[in-house]
């Protein structure tokens, strides 16, 4: 049984059907990719899977449990973490503080403990470990707002990892990054693959081809193709695009 | 006998201008019958009536005369909210689901299907640089293998547009000045003088 499944998802906004009979399955220990051109419905799909939107029809199932329509925070507590296409960090806080706030034990203690974060050495150690994991060792005291864009992206992934998720969703992680930063991000995600089940939603085909175990292609709000990257890459028109569309 | 997937019979759409002396500005006429699942390539100049034809097939536009039957059901007698369960119009990236309401929906028939039997792709954004084209073509083939009818409307401005039309389409329709006509195969289509004029520099020399 897949760790996470979407079964027959349908989502409509007014006259616009954004998702139609979407079936997806993400296996434990794998990196699953969802890709598609702009406007294909990827982010809406992401929002339905992570509970931001309730589907009109269909089911979302995590480890056999139907989580369709549950609130995003309830879904998060069940072990789904997500990063956003548009970054959602606290720029005034340091990288370490952003991580600390995301730790489950700190969130449970709430506001009263916030002013004493630095004195909680166990939490600080854990946060530092996660920071190192995303390649930000030595940046603990730096304001999030002062980090380079690629580092901010890494920090956001760290924030999602702080909750020790069963499944990590990344929405368009290459968005706005330079080619060099994308290469760094690919290296980071490659490292995380060993320990986490990950779903990456991405329009950059090359990025996913290099990382994913399986890929589903979404267009017109539907899954128009799926399979291993090697199989998808065999498509004549995909090969042609890799040669700059000239073959 | 099983009803054809699509039956367009005596279809006419007239557009006229003028308050007292109505003057016809555009007229579309079509007769088409598609019994089996297939991928149909549609070409024609801008303003020739391709999109109007698609709107009439999906029931988002009201005909002046004639009928459109999908799986034996008159699309204009099907409840508005269910018409996209029979035929669906994809305009580039988006799906067109606006219907001009002329009768109460509760007096109309259900679609009888859960997923569209006819898919009409109106100038899908094919781009050789991103590779998605290949997945789109695979999707058309999958829809056909599921017993559905697929229309792909292209306005060729690159040689590869003709290449992919030849690769996946089995039937061909050319629309010119409101007249809809079928060609038996791709070679015959490319031999037609109107089509060659329309294609201009893209018209293959060997097909003449």
CATH of the domain at B54: 3.40.50.300
A115/A55 same-domain check: no
Same domain, yes or no, for A39 and A159? Answer: no
Give the closest-approach CA distance of B92 to chain A in angstroms.
9
Kindly state whether residue A204 falls inside one of the protein's structural domains.
yes
Assess whether A52 and A174 both reside in one domain: yes
pLDDT at A40: 85
A56 within some domain? yes
Domain presence at residue B94: yes
Best mutation target among A237, A241, A242, A246 (most B Cβ atoms within 10 Å) is: A237
Check whether A77 has a pLDDT greater than 60. Answer: yes
Size of interface A-B (CB pairs under 8 A): 70
Residue A188 in any domain: the answer is no
**A235:B139 CB<8 A:** no
Residues of B in contact with A40 (CB under 8 A): 93
pLDDT at position B81, please?
A: 87
Q: Could you give the percent of chain A with pLDDT greater than 90?
A: 62
Indicate the residue of A39, A217, A221 with minimum beta-carbon distance to B135.
Answer: A217
* Chain B residues near residue A39 by CB distance under 8 angstroms: 93-94
Residue B23 within a domain? no
Is residue A191 situated within a structural domain? no
- Domain assignment present for A101: yes
Listed in sequence order, the residues at least 6 apart from B103 whose beta carbon sits closer than 8 Å to its beta carbon are: none
| pLDDT tier at A211, thresholds 50, 70, 90 | very high
Residue A245 has pLDDT above 60, yes or no: no
Same domain, A12 and A50: yes
| Domain contains B7 | no
The number of folded domains in chain B is: 1
What's residue A17's pLDDT?
78
Return all residues near B33 (Cβ < 8 A) that are at least 6 apart. Answer: B4, B6, B7, B8, B9
* Residue A247's pLDDT band (cuts 50, 70, 90): very low
Residue of A nearest to B93 (CA): A220
Buried b (16+ CB within 10 A) or exposed e, A108-142: eeeeebeeebeebeebbebbbebbebbbbeebbee
Check CB contact under 8 Å for B95 and A205.
no
Same domain for A236 and A220: yes
- The answer to whether position A189 is within a domain reads no
Q: Which residues of A touch B (CB under 8 A)?
A: 15-17, 20-21, 36-40, 205, 217, 219-222, 224-225, 232, 235-238, 240-242, 244-245
Nearest CA in chain A to B163: A237
- Domain enclosing residue A60, as ranges: 1-79+167-179+196-247
pLDDT at A85 over 60: no
pLDDT band with cut points at 50, 70 and 90 for residue B98? confident
Cα-trace Rg, chain B: 17
Domain residues for the domain of B130 are: 36-65+73-207
Q: What is the pLDDT of residue B93?
A: 63
The answer to the question of residue B182 being in a domain is: yes
**What is the share, in percent, of chain B residues with pLDDT greater than 70?**
95
A73 and A26 in one domain? yes
Q: Do A225 and B139 touch (CB under 8 A)?
A: yes
Residue A115's pLDDT is 57
User: Do A93 and A156 fall into the same domain?
Assistant: yes
Q: Is the pLDDT of residue B108 over 70?
A: yes
What residues of chain B lie within 8 A of the CB of A36, using their CB? 132
Average the pLDDT over A2-22 and give the result: 89
In whole angstroms, what is the distance from residue A68 CA to residue B96 CA?
A: 28
Q: Are residues A60 and A174 in the same domain?
A: yes
The predicted model gives B22-38 an average pLDDT of 95
User: Between these two residues, B67 and B204, which has the higher pLDDT value?
Assistant: B67
CA distance B178 to chain A (A): 28
A109 vs B79, more confident: B79
Model confidence at B92: pLDDT above 60: yes
CA distances, A204 to each of A196, A201, B18, B28 (Å):
21, 9, 52, 42
What tokens were used for A82? 């997500």
CB contact under 8 A, B138 and A235: yes
- Residue B79 maps to a domain: yes
ipTM: 0.85
Residues A158 and A172 occupy one common structural domain: no
Share of chain B above pLDDT 90, in %: 71
Give tens-digit pLDDT for A132-191.
Answer: 999 999 999 999 999 998 999 999 999 999 988 999 999 999 988 999 999 999 999 999
Chain B residues touching residue A13 (CB < 8 angstroms): none
User: Does residue B115 form part of some domain?
Assistant: yes
Whether residues A159 and A173 share a domain: the answer is no
pLDDT of B207 reads: 61
Q: What integer is the mean pLDDT of A195-223?
A: 93
Please give the residue that has the higher pLDDT: either B180 or A39. Answer: B180
Instruction: Report the CATH number that the domain containing residue A11 is assigned in CATH.
Output: 3.40.50.300
For residue B195, pLDDT beyond 80: yes
Domain count, chain A: 2
Q: Report pLDDT digits (tens) over B140-150.
A: 999 999 999 99
The answer to whether residues A99 and A55 belong to one domain is no
């Amino acid at each position: 049984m897949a760790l996470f499944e979407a079964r027959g998802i349908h989502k409509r906004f007014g006259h616009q059907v954004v998702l139609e009979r979407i079936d997806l399955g993400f296996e434990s220990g794998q990196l699953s990719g969802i890709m598609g051109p702009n406007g294909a419905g990827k982010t809406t799909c992401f929002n339905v899977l992570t509970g931001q939107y309730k589907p009109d029809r269909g089911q979302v199932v995590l480890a056999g449990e139907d989580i369709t329509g549950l609130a995003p925070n309830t879904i998060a507590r069940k072990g789904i973490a997500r990063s956003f296409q548009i970054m959602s960090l606290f720029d005034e806080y340091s990288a370490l503080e952003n991580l600390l706030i995301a730790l489950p034990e700190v969130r449970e203690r709430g506001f009263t403990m916030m002013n004493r974060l630095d004195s909680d050495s166990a939490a600080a150690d854990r946060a530092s470990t996660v920071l190192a994991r995303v390649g930000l060792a030595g940046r603990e005291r730096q304001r999030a707002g002062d980090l380079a864009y690629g580092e901010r992206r890494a920090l956001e992934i760290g924030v999602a990892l702080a909750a020790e998720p069963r499944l990590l969703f990344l929405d368009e992680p290459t968005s706005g990054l330079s080619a060099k930063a994308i290469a760094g991000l690919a290296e980071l995600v490659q490292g995380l693959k060993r320990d986490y089940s990950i779903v990456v939603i991405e329009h950059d085909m090359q990025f996913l081809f290099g990382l994913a175990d399986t890929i589903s292609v979404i267009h017109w709000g539907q899954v128009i193709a799926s399979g291993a990257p090697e199989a998808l890459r065999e498509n004549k028109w995909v090969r042609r695009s890799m040669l700059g569309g000239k073959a | 006998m099983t009803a054809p997937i699509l039956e367009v019979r005596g279809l006419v759409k007239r557009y006229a201008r003028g308050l007292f002396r109505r003057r016809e500005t555009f007229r579309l006429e079509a007769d088409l019958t598609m019994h089996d699942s297939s991928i149909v390539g549609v070409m024609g100049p801008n303003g020739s009536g391709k999109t109007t034809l698609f709107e009439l097939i999906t029931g988002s536009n009201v005909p002046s005369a004639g009928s459109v039957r999908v799986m034996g059901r008159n699309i204009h007698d099907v409840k508005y909210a269910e018409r996209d369960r029979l035929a669906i119009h994809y305009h580039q990236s988006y799906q067109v689901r606006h219907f001009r309401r002329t009768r109460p929906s509760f007096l109309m028939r259900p679609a009888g299907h859960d997923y569209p039997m006819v898919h009409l792709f109106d100038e899908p954004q094919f781009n050789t640089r991103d590779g998605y084209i290949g997945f789109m073509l695979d999707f058309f083939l999958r829809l056909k293998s599921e017993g559905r009818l697929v229309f792909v409307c292209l306005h060729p401005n690159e040689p590869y547009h003709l290449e992919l039309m030849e690769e996946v389409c089995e039937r061909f329709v050319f629309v010119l000045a409101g007249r809809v006509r079928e060609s038996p195969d791709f070679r015959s289509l490319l031999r037609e003088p109107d089509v060659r004029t329309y294609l201009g520099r893209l018209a293959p020399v060997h097909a003449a």
